[in-house]
Structure 1
Amino acid sequence: MGATVNKLLMLFNKREKKKLFTIFIMMIFAALFETLGIGLIVPFVGIATNPSIIQEQEILAIIFKSLHFQSTNTFLIFSVILLILIFVIKNLYLLLFLYVQNKIILNQQIKLSRTLFKEYLSKPYKYHLQKNSANLLRNVNEEVPKVFQGIILCGFQLLTESLVIFCIFVLLLINSFVATIVASILLGGGIFLFNRIFRKKLSKLGKKHQLVSGLMIKWVNQG
């Protein structure tokens, strides 16, 4: 895993790696926003279904008194507006995060495809006689996008979701420790079994797809 990450990082220069670090920082805030959005739903539902909880819960009671609300209905309206505002801000931030992430990754994909294409064009005629042009086209048009969109971009998305799951996991641990541990063991075991069963099959299918893709381009060129 570490070797794969190092190879992928070699595709980026020092300046571009700083951009990747920016994505990572934005990713952490995205995970926190997602967790905040999920974490606020349960308290809001509790307030809406049982307004008396405002006086029973210490934190809610402090907010109620500090902001000088006259009634629980006023506090409920305030909670609705606050929840909507938080969700709007959260979604705007996530939109910005996805835009920045995709722009950085896809620009690097275009750059590498262009560099690889120029490298092939600079090769002597003898090199092209010894190589299958379909494979060269496949490398530029398919393999590079697979690396950036199928591995790097999906990897960032997976990391983002993992951070969200971790934050939610911590939140659940605080509220229900035993139930969270049991559910985590069951879910983790299922994921482990799935990975053990299908990992080799997926690897073989990927290699087969790569071979078939090269042959298809070759046949199109010959036709």
Structure 2
Amino acid sequence: MFSISIQLWKILTPLDKRKLLVVLILVVVMAGIEAIGVVSIMPFLAVLANPTVIESNLLLQKISKTLLVNDTRQFIVYLGMLSLGIVVFSTFIKIITQYTLYRFSNLQRHYFSTRLLEIYLQQPYEFFIERNSSNLIKNILSEVDELVRGIIQPILFLIAYSVVIF
């Protein structure tokens, strides 16, 4: 798989490589925000289970003072809303990242097909006489789709979810 990734990296244009790096940076940001979203639930559940934790935990005391809350119930509601807001925000970032991953891979399908067609069109007439036109069409349409759906998308999602797991 590593050799496939290297071969794929070689056929990407410099612009595509920059776009891929931007996508990977977005994946890292998504992983960080998603981790924050998951971690934000823990203080809320701890306070919900045992409201006396507020007095013993310095972070919860600072949050309570920042929100200017003296009532425990009101603090639990605010902490729940804050936690929910963080989780919704992390989900929104995840949606944007998923969209970007799919867009990048599908645009690669278009770029590879276009580049392959341009290469075919630059060939001499003898090239077309020696080959079956249905094979050339199959290469442009279905083989490029196989490349994108069978290699590029799985590699992108493997990287994305590996970063999230890490």
Same fold (TM over 0.5): yes
Q: Distance in 1 between matches of 2:140 and 2:152?
A: 17
Cα deviation for residue 34 of structure 1 reads 1.5
Q: Distance in 1 between matches of 2:125 and 2:6?
A: 33
Contact 2:34-2:87 at 8 Å conserved across structures: no
Q: Structure 2: any 5+ residue segments left out of the alignment?
A: none
Q: Distance in 2 between matches of 1:95 and 1:63?
A: 29
TM-score, normalised to structure 2, is: 0.86
The amino acid across from 2:9 in the alignment is L
Contact 2:47-2:76 at 8 Å conserved across structures: yes
| 2:120 pairs with 1:120 | yes
Partner of 1:88: 88
Per-residue Cα deviation, 1:102-142 (whole angstroms, up to 9, x for no partner): 22322221021122134334444543343344432322122
Partner of 2:155: 155
Identity %: 28
Q: Distance in 1 between matches of 2:43 and 2:135?
A: 57
Task: Quickly say closer, same or farther: Cα 1:66–1:103, change in 2 above 3 A.
Answer: closer
Question: What is the 5 A alignment of 1:185-196?
Answer: none
Cα deviation for residue 76 of structure 1 reads 0.7
Q: Structure 1: any 5+ residue segments left out of the alignment?
A: 167-223
Cα deviation for residue 10 of structure 1 reads 2.0
Q: Which has the higher contact order (CA 8 A, sep 6+)?
A: 2
The amino acid across from 1:113 in the alignment is S
Q: Distance in 1 between matches of 2:48 and 2:150?
A: 43
Cα deviation for residue 41 of structure 1 reads 2.3
Q: Distance in 1 between matches of 2:61 and 2:40?
A: 16
Partner of 2:30: 30
Cα deviation for residue 156 of structure 1 reads 1.2
Partner of 2:9: 9
| Matched residues, number | 166
Alignment root-mean-square deviation, CA: 2.1
